[in-house]
Structure formats: C-alpha cells, structure tokens
Amino acid sequence: MSFFSFFCTLFKSVTHVQVVNGALHLFGGYKHQRMHLVLTTNQEGVPVWTQEPDMPIKSCALAARALALLWGVPLVPVNHCVAHIEMGRLKTGISDPVVLYVSGGNTQVIAFARGSYRIFGETIDIAVGNCLDRFARVASISNDPAPGYNIELLAREARAQDKAANDACAAYEAARHSELMESPVPPEKKHGPVEGEGERETSPPAPAAPLITLPYVVKGMDISLAGIMSSAAAHLKANPDTPKERLCLALEETLFAMLAEVAERAAAHVGASDFLIVGGVGCNKRLQEMLGIMAAERHGRVGGMNNLFAVDNGAMIAWTGVLMYQSNKQCALDPREADITQRFRTDEVDVTWR
Amino acid sequence: MWGKEIVAKERFPKRYRHPELDVTLRKHRTRGEARALAKCMEAGIPVPALLHCDLNTMTLYMRHIRGHTAKHVISGCEEREDTEGVMGICREMGTLIGRLHKSGLVHGDLTTSNFVKPSPEHYYAHTETERERETEGEGETEGEGETEGDVAMDADTPSPTADTHPCPLHVIDLGLASVSSQAEERAVDMYVLERALIATHKDSESMMDACVCAYRQVMGDKITDEVLKRYEKVRGRGRKKGEKVPGQ
C-alpha cells in the first residue's frame, strides 16, 4: 500500500521520469523493477497555474505513459471519484454506503447499483467547496490553513453563542417559572410597580439571533448552490455590519441540510442506511454530525474520515488501481494510445471488483 | 374519514437540521404541496384528492390510491421484456408532466416512484362506491358537515381523460412543487426526471424520448422546443455532461 501511495503522490508533483526514478531510489529505496502498475487518474492537478487548464494532468499522463512503456508495466486508468469511494470503503469498512462526495470541484450523491456507481443527485451548478471558498473570498475570510476550515470555525463560534443564549433563556424561564410557582403573590401583581421585589427582577437575556435566510433549493435529488453563494454575498454587501460568523452559520446550516436531505432521499431510494462522506468538505465536523444524526435515525452509521484520507490523496488512486487490475486484467490501457480526460463520469466506470 | 380510505402525510422534524430552518422548510413544503394539489384538482390532473391540511402538525390528509408506483410497474414490464408496456407508462408520464406544466406548475421531484398507477379493481371499486353514494343521495356525506371534503372528492372523480383511459396514472408527492411557467423551471423538471430514469432504469434513453414525445403533444412544438433548448443548458451546467438531448 504505502509503496503505491508513495509513487502516486509523486505523480502529483513530479513529471519527469528521471526525477521519479531518482526519488524512488532516494526516499523509498524502491527500484523500478519492483513496480507492478502505473496508475493514472483524472482531475489530479499539480498546483501550478498554466495557460492551459488541462496542462497539469496532461503532463502527469505523459509521465505515466512514459513510465509504463519504460518499465513495461500495465497502465491502469483510475477514476478520481471512484478512488475516493474505494478509499472510504476500505478505511471505514462500510461495504455498501450511500456516498456523499463533497469537494471543491464535486458535489454528488452516489450509490452502487447494477454494476457501477450511479450518481443519484448532484449540484446543477457549482460545487459545495467552491461555494464555501468563494464566500470566504467575498467575506475576506483567511485562506490559512483553508477557507472552508475557517468558515467552520466561525460557524462553530456562532453555534456556541446561540447555545449560550438559548441556555440563558431556558435558565431564565425556568427560574421565573419556579419563582412564580412558589410565589404566593399572583403573577399579574408581580409585574406591578412594587419596588421591594424589583431587586430580584432581571431583564430577560437576549434570545439567540435568528438564522439568516438563504435560498434552499432542492430539485428532486439535485441541488443548486449558486444562489446561496450570491445571496450570502449580497447579504453581506447590503448589511456590512453582519457578523461574519452569523453568515457562516447560515451558510453551513443551509448547505449541509440540503446535502443531508438529498443523501437521505437517495438512501430511501436504494434502501441503504449507511453513509460515507468523502472529499475535502467531508472534513467538516458539522456535516459529519448532521449525517450522523440522520444515519442513527435510519439505524445505520456514517463513515467520516480523517483529513488525511478524505482529501485527495495518492493512496486512494493506488488502492483502486489494484482493485481494478486484480479483478480485470483487461482494464490496462495501451500506453501508446492512452490519453487523459477531465470529463470522466463516475458512472462510466465498470465496477468489476464488487 | 367520510367513508374513504385516506392517507395522512406528516412531515416529521429532521433532527439534523437547524430547528428554525426545519420549521420553515416543513411549513413551506406542506403549504406548497396543499396548494399544488388543489391546483391540480382544479385542472383535472389526477392526483390524490386533498381532504385536509393541518399546518400545526404539518400534516396533509389525502385520498389513498391503491396501486403500484410507475417504478414498480416498469420493473415488472422490464422483467417480462414488455417494451411496449414500459413505453406506454412513459408516454402517460410525459402527458401528465405536460398537463402539469400547462397548468402553471412544476413538480420539482419527478421520479418514477412519484407516479402511481391505481390497480383497476380498487380504482373501479372506489369510483363505483362513489357513484352509488351520489345516486343514493348526498345527504349522507353532507351530514358530516365537511363541505371541504365533498368538494375534494368531486374533483377526484374521473376527469375527461379518465374516460378514454380507464385507470389514469396519478402524480403524487408535490412537496417540492412550485408555481412557475418559466422554461428554466420546466427544463430542470425534465432534467430531474432524466436523472431519476438513468439512476433507476435500464433503458432510460428511449424512456425519456417517449416522455418528451408525449410531452410535446400536450405542450405543442413551440414550448417544447423552448424547454428542450433550456434543458440542454441545464445539462451543460452540471459537471462533465454529454451532449445528447432526448426526443430530437
């Protein structure tokens, strides 16, 4: 495993065959003779800005082709999203989950049916991670370490404030209630201008601020997120004094409620009760909590993953490549004819290993 | 209730949602569904007749339709390899969607599970008892003093199409429905249907074609073309989509 993951991580950043060779010797002590498969995947990009958006993955594909030819090993094409799912199944041990794939570039609800991973629902415009990132930029929320994470922290703050306010209100009500029950004076009179009793009267604590309303758009099992993003931005523009954490809270609650709802619908549709969250946004604790509550209601469980394996990683490509190749040797491509595409749908992959 | 089989559809709170959001959504959907059902009944579109709507408990009371979902019927046909049966249901679905759109509604959640084919024996049993009641005298039902229910039941008696087609397909679950005549909303409706077909059925492409064909007959060429044009745009908006458009 680590063998492959090391190699695939390399692929993310290195494109020269010689460098790959050198690095193999240097860091892992691996010789290329021990290499069994060369794996290539879509969507994995080197974080380099180029004129041509396809350039990073094209260069990776080039390196993959070159290595496969050079070492005479099979070249296996791995679908990025399927790799996320397989890694999730491996790490959480949930065999047949409804998958919520939420990242900067994708928002899909996936379940296994009739030999492939079917997309039951997805965003009809922008991805959820994209929505969060763009909002962070508009609201000038820091990019360090990640915009989504900072939104999560702000939302958590707002949630804590709300909880404190609600608790204070509840405590006040309870105190008032017991006071009224014990008091021999009828309640109406207590409110009167009796100065003697005024000392125990305190003004009621402020209730929790209402949730900012953002458009909640669910169409069947598809969702639309672009409206939320622009509506949150417009709200901020119209009311610059709005605390950012209130908006972050509303954004998280609305977005994730939509995601949870479509996941629940998909689960009802296929009769599953377990859920798996993959992709970068899957690191969000609130999203995990929401799906957790829902799964518990359905007597299922939810597989959340730690940051290491929820985000893009080489190990998932490696693991899926192994699964694919072991179940079907025919899946290897001819390196001379192999090419790479960014338009590789999740449901186009023949799942031969399940 | 009123001697009919009824269904109570209660929207339960979802604990995972923010409580405020939860109440707003449930209220909005219950109210929306009630309005959409009423509108359908007005237009004579076969839906479960709405009898009562309780916004305190977020519950709708509707007539129960005994029968099978289109999903069930289609998979039955698929097993028997009865392509004509599948296409027949799809045409019916297309017609129904067309009529829905024509009356200014979009469904918002078109799947084959949201169409119900009443089983003939029950359907006839229903309508017959209803007719009996009508001939016996309406005093009986009116005696309970619920005019609302009576109006609803009248609307549920077979509409003009039901005469030509003995057992019309009913559309249910209008919780996500909205009032709109925009090509955009209609296109999204069709897109949702297509996605649902792909996800649940084998021969989704020709099924979609059959739907669009029937839809065209109801809506006319002009509007259908407009919707299809928009539909292409909606498809392109999703990530990594192909270029095929059904029915062309």
pLDDT digits (tens, 9 = 90+) for B210-233: 999 999 999 999 999 999 999 988
Distance from the Cα of residue A224 to its chain's centroid? 16
Contacts of residues B137-145 at CB distance under 8 Å and 24 or more positions apart, as own/partner, are: B141/B2, B141/B3, B144/B2
pLDDT reported for residue A185: 59
Q: Which residue of A has its CA nearest to B200?
A: A113
A150 Cβ contact list (under 8 Å, min separation 6): A136, A141, A142, A143, A144
Share of chain A above pLDDT 70, in %: 76
For A141-161, what is each residue's pLDDT tens digit?
Answer: 998 888 999 999 999 999 999
Q: Which sign, positive or negative, has the C-alpha torsion A184, A189, A195, A201?
A: positive
Quote the CA–CA distance of A331 and A325 in Å, as a whole number: 6
The token pair at B35 is: 């309005």
Q: Hey, is A52 helix, strand or coil?
A: coil
Per-residue pLDDT, averaged over A61-87, amounts to: 81
For A237-277, what is each residue's pLDDT tens digit?
Answer: 999 998 999 999 999 999 999 999 999 988 988 888 999 99
Confidence tier at A113 by pLDDT (50, 70, 90): confident
Is residue A16 pLDDT above 80, yes or no? no
Q: Do A220 and B200 touch (CB under 8 A)?
A: no
Q: How many CB pairs under 8 A join A and B?
A: 88
Confidence tier at A56 by pLDDT (50, 70, 90): low
For B104-143, what is each residue's pLDDT tens digit?
Answer: 999 998 988 899 998 876 665 555 444 444 433 333 333 3
Quote the CA–CA distance of A342 and A318 in Å, as a whole number: 19
Residue B152 DSSP class: H
Confidence tier at A352 by pLDDT (50, 70, 90): confident
Confidence tier at B16 by pLDDT (50, 70, 90): very high
Q: Do B16 and A342 touch (CB under 8 A)?
A: no
Q: Do A210 and B20 touch (CB under 8 A)?
A: yes
How many helices (H) and strands (E) are present in chain A, helices listed first? Answer: 12, 9
When the pLDDT of each residue in chain A is averaged and rounded to a whole number, the result is 79
Quote the CA–CA distance of B246 and B210 in Å, as a whole number: 9
Taking CB atoms and an 8 Å cutoff, what residues of chain B touch A213? 24
**Between B15, B195, B198, which is nearest A293 by CB?**
B15
Considering A27-36, A287-296, B238-247, the range whose residues carry the highest mean pLDDT is A287-296
From the list A54, A209, A174, A341, the residue with the least C-alpha distance to B20 is A209
From the list B202, B226, B199, B200, the residue with the least C-alpha distance to B212 is B226
Using an 8 Å Cβ cutoff, are A38 and A75 in contact? Answer: yes
Range 89-108 of A in CB contact (< 8 A) with B? 105-106
Confidence tier at B165 by pLDDT (50, 70, 90): very low
ipTM at complex level: 0.74
A276: number of Cβ within 10 Å: 27
Lowest mean pLDDT among A104-113, A173-182, B142-151: B142-151
Q: Which sign, positive or negative, has the C-alpha torsion B148, B149, B150, B151?
A: positive
Quote the CA–CA distance of A74 and A326 in Å, as a whole number: 12
Residue B182 or A63, more confident: B182
Strands B59-63 and B67-69 turn out to be unpaired
pLDDT reported for residue B126: 53
Quote the CA–CA distance of A55 and A40 in Å, as a whole number: 15
Residue A16 or A74, more confident: A74
pLDDT reported for residue A200: 53
Nearest 5°: phi and psi at A160?
A: -65, -40
Residue A352 or B162, more confident: A352
**Between A125, A222, A254, which is nearest B195 by CB?**
A222
Q: Hey, is B216 helix, strand or coil?
A: helix
Q: Hey, is B158 helix, strand or coil?
A: coil
Q: b/e string for A308-341 if b means 16 or more Cβ within 10 A?
A: ebbbbbbbbbbbbbbbbbeeeeebbbebeebebe
Residues of B forming the active site? 109
pLDDT reported for residue A188: 56
Q: Which residue is associated with the tokens 């899909």?
A: A108
From the list A110, A119, A82, A93, the residue with the least C-alpha distance to A320 is A82
* pTM of structure: 0.78
- Interface with chain B: mutation pick from A102, A124, A225, A286, highest number of B CBs within 10 Å: A124
Report the DSSP beta bridge partners of residue B61.
B8, B52
Confidence tier at B4 by pLDDT (50, 70, 90): low
| Burial category of A144 from C-beta neighbours within 10 Å (exposed 0-12, middle 13-18, buried 19 and up) | exposed
pLDDT reported for residue A38: 62
Is residue A323 pLDDT above 80, yes or no? yes
For A291-308, what is each residue's pLDDT tens digit?
Answer: 999 999 899 989 877 777
Quote the CA–CA distance of B190 and B230 in Å, as a whole number: 10
Q: Which domains does chain B have, with CATH numbers?
A: 1-239 (1.10.510.10)
**Between A114, A221, A254, which is nearest B21 by CB?**
A254
CB-based contact (8 Å) between A122 and chain B?
Answer: yes
Taking CB atoms and an 8 Å cutoff, what residues of chain B touch A126? none
Quote the CA–CA distance of A265 and A246 in Å, as a whole number: 28
The token pair at B88 is: 């027949």
pLDDT reported for residue B31: 94
Measuring CA to CA, how many Å separate A214 from each of A121, A140, A235, B54, B193?
21, 19, 9, 26, 26
B50 Cβ contact list (under 8 Å, min separation 6): B34, B37, B38, B41, B60, B61, B62, B152
| Burial category of A250 from C-beta neighbours within 10 Å (exposed 0-12, middle 13-18, buried 19 and up) | buried
Taking CB atoms and an 8 Å cutoff, what residues of chain A touch B20? 210-211
Q: Which residue of B has its CA nearest to A260?
A: B16
Share of chain B above pLDDT 90, in %: 50
pLDDT reported for residue A191: 54
Confidence tier at A69 by pLDDT (50, 70, 90): confident
Q: Which domains does chain A have, with CATH numbers?
A: 1-91+312-354 (3.30.420.40)
**Degrees to nearest 5, angle at CA B147 with B141 and B149:** 75
Report the DSSP beta bridge partners of residue B50.
B62
CB-based contact (8 Å) between B243 and chain A?
Answer: no
For A198-235, what is each residue's pLDDT tens digit?
Answer: 445 567 788 888 899 999 999 888 899 999 999 999 99
- Interface with chain B: mutation pick from A126, A218, A219, highest number of B CBs within 10 Å: A219
CB-based contact (8 Å) between A305 and chain B?
Answer: no
Confidence tier at A81 by pLDDT (50, 70, 90): confident
CA torsion angle for B126, B128, B129, B130 (degrees, to 10)? 80
The token pair at A200 is: 């125990």
CB-based contact (8 Å) between B233 and chain A?
Answer: no
pLDDT reported for residue A6: 42
Nearest 5°: phi and psi at A239?
A: -125, 80
Quote the CA–CA distance of A304 and A277 in Å, as a whole number: 6
